[in-house]
Amino acid sequence: MVNLDNIRIVLAGPLCGGNVGAVCRAMGNMGLSDLALVAPRRLNMDEARWMACHAAEILDNRAEFGALPEAVADCAAVLGTTARPGLYRRHARTPREWAPRILEGTVNGRVALVFGREDNGLSNDELAVCNHVIRIPSTEEYPSLNVAQAVLVCAYEVYTASARYSPPREKSPDASSALKERMIAMWRQMLLDIGFMKPEKADHMMLGLRRIFGRGAQTTDDVRILMGVARQAEWVAAAVNGAAGRPAGAADCETTEG
């Protein structure tokens, strides 16, 4: 099975504690936990912890190595990120293209995603340690990304490809055609009662209203709310005109939640 725990984020020569902390937060957002630092400079760890926010555990459990080969020695696949052009960088692919391969590699081994230092990225010698090259799509005028942003983009693509995220589902079912027609009829009558349209123009106006209502998926709750609006507007129109009536109660506007 795909195992996100087998993905290691490697930062080569990080310069800024804040970036390291922000990387931890990005990893936590996307279900990653294995962080390795290669020859880090003297980092401001207070800043790192502040930027890590609720991902301080990832920061605390980081591993540190003296050289990149040591940090990826137990990895079956090593992918390096770069924004610079060059003969040996032309086989780079986007994070989205690599994501399925990265996940496949986690089934039986560990995969490393390597990110360079903030000022110069990865050197040619460091890229030579990598099996594959990742390039994040960006404008030619300004291709360089902040290292934490780069980590987030790559981690997002991997997490999305893992299909672990399930978007929330609409709690209310789609409204039936019959219920929608009832709502349209109520709005027609209400718009006539408040003088918004004249009877001879009603058919034309209602075509426009149907277009407005039809632009989005309408759930049963949506339609019942709109029916409640029409009822209340009719009551106000009747009250203004001196006719008998009463305001719509909670039962008139109820949704499927009760």
- What pLDDT score does 241 carry? 78
d(CA 94, CA 133): 9
Share of the chain above pLDDT 90, in %: 73
Convert the pLDDT of each residue in 122-156 to its tens digit: 998 999 999 999 999 999 889 889 999 999 999 99
Same-domain pairing of 56 and 126:
yes
Same-domain pairing of 105 and 196:
no
Convert the pLDDT of each residue in 199-248 to its tens digit: 999 999 999 999 998 887 689 999 999 999 999 998 888 888 774 444 44
Same-domain pairing of 209 and 246:
yes
Residue ending a domain, among 116, 134, 161, is 161
d(CA 153, CA 170): 28
Same-domain pairing of 212 and 249:
yes
- 3-state secondary structure string across the chain: CCCHHHEEEEEECCCCHHHHHHHHHHHHHCCCCEEEEECCCCCCHHHHHHHHHHHHHHHHCCEEECCHHHHCCCCCEEEEECCCCCHHHCCCECHHHHHHHHHHHHHHCCEEEEECECCCECCHHHHHHCCEEECCCCCCCCCCCCHHHHHHHHHHHHHHHCCCCCCCCCCCCECCHHHHHHHHHHHHHHHHHCCCCCHHHHHHHHHHHHHHHCCCCCEHHHHHHHHHHHHHHHHHHHHHCCCCCCCCCHHHHCCCCC
Q: Which of 64-73, 90-99, 103-112 has the lowest mean pLDDT?
A: 90-99
Same-domain pairing of 80 and 139:
yes
Asked, for residue 172, whether it belongs to a domain, the answer is no
Q: What is the CATH number of the domain that holds 136?
A: 3.40.1280.10
Asked, for residue 107, whether it belongs to a domain, the answer is yes
Q: What is the mean pLDDT of residues 179-188?
A: 93
CB atoms within 10 A of CB 14: 22
Q: What is the pTM of this model?
A: 0.75
Asked, for residue 126, whether it belongs to a domain, the answer is yes
Same-domain pairing of 127 and 196:
no
Same-domain pairing of 207 and 124:
no
Asked, for residue 168, whether it belongs to a domain, the answer is no
Same-domain pairing of 150 and 201:
no
Convert the pLDDT of each residue in 88-107 to its tens digit: 556 789 999 999 999 999 99
- What pLDDT score does 88 carry? 55
Closest CA to 223 of 194, 251, 253: 253
12 with 116: CB under 8 angstroms?
A: yes
Cα 159 to chain centroid distance, Å, stands at 10
Who wins on pLDDT, 141 or 18?
A: 18
Asked, for residue 102, whether it belongs to a domain, the answer is yes
- What pLDDT score does 85 carry? 64
Q: What is the mean pLDDT of residues 51-72?
A: 97
> Whole domain around residue 12: which residue ranges?
4-161
Whole-Å CA distances, 61 to 163, 215, 241? 26, 50, 73
Same-domain pairing of 38 and 92:
yes
pLDDT at residue 33 greater than cutoff 70: yes
What average pLDDT does the structure give for the chain? 89
d(CA 146, CA 119): 10
Asked, for residue 149, whether it belongs to a domain, the answer is yes
Domain count, the chain: 2
d(CA 119, CA 122): 10
Asked, for residue 258, whether it belongs to a domain, the answer is no
Asked, for residue 39, whether it belongs to a domain, the answer is yes
Same-domain pairing of 35 and 142:
yes
Same-domain pairing of 152 and 36:
yes
